[in-house]
Amino acid sequence: MTSEPFPRPFAILAALAAALFLLPLVGLLVRFPWAEAADALTSPEILTATGLSLVTSLSATALSILLGVPLAIVYARARFRGLRVVRALTTLPMVLPPVVGGVALLVAFGRRGIVGQLLDSAFGIRIPFTTAAAVLAATFVAMPFLVLTVEAGLRSMDRRYEEAARSLGAGRWMVFRRVTLPLVAPSLYAGAVLCWARALGEFGATITFAGNVPGSTQTLPLAVYLALETRPEAAIALSLVLLLLSLVVLVALRDRYLPTS
Amino acid sequence: MKPLALLVAILAVGSCGGAPRAELPTSASTAPPSGTITVFAASSLTDAFGRVGDELTTRYPGTHFIFNYSSSSTLATQIVNGAPADVFASADDRNMRKIADAALVQGSAAVFATNRLQIAVAPGNPKGIASLADLARRDLVVVLAAPSVPAGRYALDALRQAGVTLVPASQELDVRAVLNKVALGEADAGVVYVTDVRSAAGRVTGVDIPEPHQVVARYPVATLRDSRNQRLSSLFVEFLLGPDGQRVLGDFGFARP
């Protein structure tokens, strides 16, 4: 275990960088309310928020797979004018402040929004303040992670397998199901997990677009934020649980997505 | 030894901070006030404190005021956890007490304004909302502030006094978020402060709440013990309590304590 040579000052800067990430974790562990944690984590509102978070994040992931995989295929395979612009616009939520995303969703799907107005007058459907709004907000911010990951997988796969299948008489659907999909499965898996993790952590777009409604839009991050003011020990306990959950996701992805030595 | 030198340099820069630690007491009484302070204020004070800051900066060039607006409960949590605030203005006594209990208040808090509740509805009141009892109507989308936020608790008090029970469509994180949901048309009604309706400048209409159901919000202000510019912090508080501060607050619809 001997290091290879590198400029020495980097060691200190690297240590500072690592400290930035490790100290908050240490803080949570030090302040973790061992005595009250069980009560805090099993209180009715936390259990409700946990259940809701699972429902909304998994629904957002399912929706992202249903719509995002076709989008990734179009991005990787189709050629048309304006493709790059559309691609950039659909990637925007990755860099957009989530609250801005929430405002954008309101003006599109809100009661006075361009689509929301039609939904309300034609079908009496109102999206804001419902679980559907929380799912939509989570999908909006999380789907780009899946699309980019699957698109990268499609671009790097060996196209000769598909060509071979085509030459043997398989149709487009057959090739997609039996050749393309299995080949991009690792990317799809990694993309879906990243997408789910982002959806689980979603806060800004949710509070702006879906509001804070216990039982229907108050997801775990919102519950943590509110608990910090009234029951800080519950917020700390929850934060550590969410952090450990994220760690599990990273470990699960270790070999498939993150570069390892 | 170069890495060590670098570490020392980083630590030295880090520990210096930006501003000097304390003012020299000798010149403090004669020289004009100067410097920058950070004021943590309840979100309902957003417009009024913006004007207060402008007036003070005009009167004392060289002073600068940074405002952090949020719900009083969020601000109190931030201050207790070490946020660098010089002055705290809360929309209720409860959150000021949190700071006082943590021994973070310099001297004692003073109430500088009061506020009352109003029902914010769409401009012109198209849904014909006349009272708190109307908020229980099935055809209305009503939002309140979360119960942990002063405006949310005051709203629940008012509803209780009126004998009205309702399930809000959303519990917003601060009173300005309630106002915005009504102004954007996502909600038909929300319970906010009189001052919020006034600062919305026509984007919402206010429906009065009759006296027996009314709740009076008290706004205490205090300078904080850890402020590095006690002089400017005190000046800010004195301005609020004095005639000029009261005039500005009155312009925005706040009442005298």
H-state helical runs in chain B: 2-16, 25-28, 46-59, 72-80, 93-101, 150-161, 175-183, 194-199, 230-241, 243-251
Residue with tokens 């510019």: B229
**CATH assignment at residue A53:** 1.10.3720.10
Residue A1 domain-assigned?
A: no
- E runs forming strands in A60-217: none
CA distance B91 to chain A (A): 15
Helix, strand, or coil (residue A120)? helix
- Domain segments of chain B as ranges: 33-114+219-251, 115-216
Say which CATH architecture domain B115-216 belongs to. 3-Layer(aba) Sandwich (3.40)
Residue A187 domain-assigned?
A: yes
Structure-block tokens of residue B52: 């207060």
Cα–Cα distance measured from residue A34 to residue B31, given in angstroms and rounded to the nearest whole number: 53
pLDDT of residue B12: 44
Task: Please tell me the pTM assigned to this model.
Answer: 0.77
Whether residue A213 and residue B171 make contact (CB cut-off 8 A), yes or no, is yes
Whether residue B173 and residue A9 make contact (CB cut-off 8 A), yes or no, is no
Q: Which residues of chain A have pLDDT under 50?
A: 260-261
Domain with A96, as residue range(s), is 38-253
Q: Measured between beta carbons, which residues in chain B are less than 8 angstroms from residue A9? A: 2-3, 6
* Interface residue B68 vs chain A (CB under 8 A): no
Whether residue B3 and residue A128 make contact (CB cut-off 8 A), yes or no, is no
* Interface residue B175 vs chain A (CB under 8 A): no
Query: ipTM for the complex?
Result: 0.71
**pLDDT tens series, chain B, 257 aa:** 444 454 444 444 444 444 444 444 444 456 788 999 999 999 999 999 999 999 999 999 999 999 999 889 989 988 988 888 999 999 999 999 999 999 999 999 999 999 999 999 999 999 999 999 999 999 999 999 999 899 999 999 999 999 999 999 999 998 999 999 999 899 999 999 999 999 988 899 999 999 999 999 999 999 999 999 999 999 999 999 999 999 999 999 999 98
Structure-block tokens of residue B95: 């959150």
Best to test chain B binding among A23, A127, A212, A219 (most B CBs inside 10 Å): A212
Structure-block tokens of residue B113: 């304004």
Structural domain count, chain A: 1
Cα–Cα distance measured from residue A203 to residue A195, given in angstroms and rounded to the nearest whole number: 14
pLDDT of residue A58: 95
Task: Tell me which CATH code domain B33-114+219-251 carries.
Answer: 3.40.190.10
pLDDT of residue B7: 45
Structure-block tokens of residue B120: 């914010």
Q: Which residues of A touch B (CB under 8 A)?
A: 8-9, 11-12, 16, 106, 110-112, 126, 128-129, 207, 210-214, 217-218, 225-226, 228-230, 232
Cα pseudo-dihedral A38, A41, A42, A46, rounded to 10 = 170
B110 pairs with which residues across the strands?
Answer: B221
H or E stretch at A165:
helix A160-167
Cα–Cα distance measured from residue A221 to residue A167, given in angstroms and rounded to the nearest whole number: 51
User: Are A37 and A43 in contact, with CB atoms under 8 Å apart?
Assistant: no
pLDDT of residue B82: 84
H or E stretch at A252:
helix A232-253
